[in-house]
Amino acid sequence: MDAAPPTPAGSCPDFRLGEWLVQPSLGRISDARGSIHLRPLLMDFLVLLARTPSRLVTKDEINRTVWGKRFLAESALTRLVAELRQTLGDDVETPRFVETIPKRGYRLIATVSLEGSAAPGPSIAVLPFTDMTPGKDQEYFCDGLAEELTNALTRLRGLRVVARTSAFAFKGKAVDVREIGRQLNVSVVVEGGVQRSADRLRVTVQLINAADGGHLWSERFDRRAGDIFEIEDEIAQAVVAALNIKLVGDEESGLIPRYTEVLEAHDFYLRGRYIAARRSPDAYAQAIRYFQQALARDPGYSVAYAGLGACYCGSGFVGYLAPEDAFPKAKAAAAKALELDPALAEAHATLGWTGWAYDWDWLAAEDCFHRAKELSPSDGMARFWYAMMLAALGRFEEALVEIQRAWDLDPLSLAIQTNVGFVLYEARRYQEAVDRLLNVLEMDPGFGLANFHLGRIYQAMGKHEQSLAPLEIAAPAFPLALGLLGGSWAVLGRRDKAQEILEQLERLAAKQYVGPLAFSSVYVGLGDDALALGWLEKGVDAHEGACALMGVDPCWDRYRSNPRFTELLLRLNLGGSPRRR
């Protein structure tokens, strides 16, 4: 049986443990005497115990969940428990927090409560539906059905809905539903299967109690293919009934809005969503084509415009497309989506994203993010990008709160976990950032974004030799990582290597977009301030997405007293960081 992915501590919201306030995303516990920062392994252990207080947590479960291994030396676990007891002020003979169950494991005996609320609300994960067609060619449709249900449920206030990324982490894996519920911290799981032919659609669906695996509701729909929207709405209504959620306002009129009557347009839209989830250059390009095909068949298809805008925005920020070829198109598509339907949270979030990363209109961007969160409280991506904007403004505590909430909604997302480390890096909490990123890389050693950020953190710490390996892993996916690699080689005295990387960037730029900041990063390492600032100015001229981080990014610290750099910050509207209105 495939091993289920480990549970991150940061996916747990703040909670009270006796007199202690535990803040997993910040890696600290606090009481009346002050705060104590816990190393990530210790926080992971504490959160594992706190997720199911009073329940025995076996040694095998601790090994698999905290270390990601099935066996570990007994002495290592004993030291970890002793460290936790010492930190909490606990006593092994008369414990108040952690009780040892001899030869079996440990359990948390103190009272656990969520900070700011008496008890957690209902929560749900929609797993990818199984393709049951003989040709196994409807995976995009099955995934799209699950994603549309997820998106509809995120609109319900008071319901925590786990994001697609985390729910789909179990795709194709034989994991018990109770384990899925524990890992995602949800009370209900939706699963099902789809058989689809030219004009018929059979959907089987089940609502399962994640605590005991019992069935709350099940149904089989055998309908015309055109009835997909009614089927989706019936499933969503069943979820509402099972969780005793009271609908208010426009929620009562139907949970699944019918954005199009053109089935072919809907099919292209689902294909676009399916391929866009891969987030590679080719995937974004193909998804854009699918969304355009959907709009060609139904020019009033609002959510297709929203998907199109998100793809252009992602392509522009990461550097798959030149900013001028991506962000204006993202803004236009999002604006059109909102013209058709002002209640589309994704489109508001896209305007927020372009607002800070391209237009540098920080206050307008913040308004967009707030509107997105109001419309879809369980939309983790809106909170994720809002957290990035807050970090760019130096509002790090707020950024960590937002990204913790995003992580709670998408607990298995490596990208969100990585960017927790990124926010800590921008806040100059380097060792905490390194620890968080190393945890991510334990799960996926080749994850490019985590290697990219780890390399730049090592640079900020002056550990240029250590930065080489992660930057080499990240370089094929991120030209900026290649530029940073050249900078590290230059600092280490290998100017020949730095020059080779400059030439490599020039060759790459002849085939694809390469942002000016990649070149600037090499010249920073070479100590050529004139060329470094010259390329940085070109980046600002081009509205390169990463330029919006210049106000806080440690890699530019050496230039903060330079008048040319100060002028660039003024152009970015960062001369005095705007505050919330």
C-alpha atoms less than 13 angstroms from C-alpha of 457 in its C-beta half-sphere: 28
Mean pLDDT of 41-60: 82
* pLDDT tier at 542, thresholds 50, 70, 90: very high
* pLDDT tier at 247, thresholds 50, 70, 90: low
Strands 123-126 and 160-161: parallel
Mean pLDDT of 53-81: 72
Mean pLDDT taken over the chain? 87
The amino acid at 48: L
Low-confidence winner among 74-88, 111-125, 440-454, 509-523 (lowest mean pLDDT): 111-125
Give CA 5 to chain center in angstroms.
Answer: 15
Sequential DSSP letters for 471-491: HHHHTTT-HHHHHHHHHHHHH
Distance of CA 5 to CAs 169, 179, 319, Å?
8, 10, 30
Percent of the chain whose predicted confidence (pLDDT) is above 70: 92
Classify each residue of 525-541 as buried b or exposed e, where b means 16 or more C-beta atoms within 10 Å of its C-beta: bbeeeeebbbbbbbbbe
| Alpha-carbon gap, residue 453 to 434, rounded angstroms | 9
The amino acid at 161: V
Between 249 and 355, the higher pLDDT residue: 355
Q: Does domain 123-258 have CATH number 3.20.20.10?
A: no
Torsion of CA 183, 166, 195, 228, to 10 degrees: 120
8 A C-beta contact, residue 463 and residue 489: no
8 A C-beta contact, residue 327 and residue 546: no
How much is the pLDDT for 3? Answer: 37
For 392-438, write each residue's pLDDT tens digit.
Answer: 999 998 898 888 888 878 888 889 989 999 999 999 999 989 988 99
Residues in CB range of 547: below 8 A, 6 or more apart: 517, 536, 539, 540, 568, 572
* pLDDT tier at 179, thresholds 50, 70, 90: confident
How much is the pLDDT for 115? Answer: 58
Domain chopping of the chain, boundaries? 9-114, 123-258, 268-377
Domain 268-377 fold is 1.25.40
Q: Is residue 8 scored above 50 in pLDDT?
A: no
* pLDDT tier at 220, thresholds 50, 70, 90: confident
* pLDDT tier at 252, thresholds 50, 70, 90: low
* pLDDT tier at 20, thresholds 50, 70, 90: confident
Angle, vertex CA 139, rays to CA 134 and CA 144, nearest 5: 135
| Alpha-carbon gap, residue 165 to 115, rounded angstroms | 26
- If one looks up domain 9-114 in CATH, what number appears? 1.10.10.10
Neighbours of 580 (CB within 10 A): 12
- At what angle are helices 302-318 and 345-357 packed, to 10 degrees? 30
Dihedral of CA 87/92/93/99: which sign? Answer: positive
| Alpha-carbon gap, residue 405 to 456, rounded angstroms | 25
